[in-house]
Structure formats: structure tokens, C-alpha cells
Amino acid sequence: MYVREAFDKIINMFKGLCDTLILIGHCKDAMINKDGKEMSEMSLDLSGKLARITLASADAIGYIYRNKNKTMLNFKGGEDYILGARAPHLKEQEFVIAESEDPKTVNVFWDKIFLPE
């Protein structure tokens, strides 16, 4: 079975179990050739073509990181980042997705991702 077919089969199995499927992974620096120059690019840490297949299938690709008591979510792409979103309200955005007042209290702002209907 080809990589793409296996990937689709596995993802479709999970999609049938939920309304929204969120995949979380680690990133790595990948070397790419752009206009004859070797450059570093942030990519998903998967082997072979699986990273590109996964990223191409995604509706949104964000980079999540911590800034003190805030968890930031970045959809801003660039030459060395494979980030972005198809949804207009997420395109080229960066925002706080969670914030903690103290170790026992965390406020999460999913309404920035999933707009009210």
C-alpha cells in the first residue's frame, strides 16, 4: 500500500469518530533546496513523504509555544515556516489560545479557532 493511501485510511478512520480532528506533532528543521540554495525550513517531524502529505491534508497548520503564562498559537507563514490556514479568520494570525492566572486556573479561548455559528 502506498504511503498516501495508508495515511488516508488511518486519518479517515479517526475522522469518523469526531467532528474535528486535531493532530499535534513536533517540528524539526529540514533542509530544502530553493533556487539552487540550501535553506533550513521548519517542518513536521515525520519521516519520508509523510510530513508533506500530512501538511497538505490539513486545513490549518499552527505553531504553538509558551510566552510566560500565555500559550500562543501562530498561523503566520514565512519562507522558513510551513504555517498557514484555509479559514479566513485564521490566515496570518497569531493569538493567545490559553492563559493561566495561577497553576490551578487555565482559561482556553477555543472561540478564536471555532467561530460561533
Q: Residue-wise pLDDT tens for the chain (117 aa)?
A: 577 788 888 888 888 898 888 988 998 877 777 788 887 777 788 887 888 888 888 899 999 999 999 999 999 977 666 788 999 999 999 999 999 988 889 999 999 999 887
Dihedral sign computed on CA atoms, order 17, 21, 22, 26: positive
**Domain boundary assignment for the chain:** 1-58, 59-117
What pTM did the predictor assign? Answer: 0.77
The beta-strand segments (E) located in 1-117 are 27-34, 37-44, 60-61, 63-67, 70-74, 84-85, 94-102, 105-108
Alpha-carbon gap, residue 77 to 56, rounded angstroms: 14
Grid cell digits, residue 117: 455559528
Task: Please enumerate in sequence order all residues whose Cβ is within 8 A of that of 23, keeping only pairs 6 or more positions apart, or say none.
Answer: 54, 58
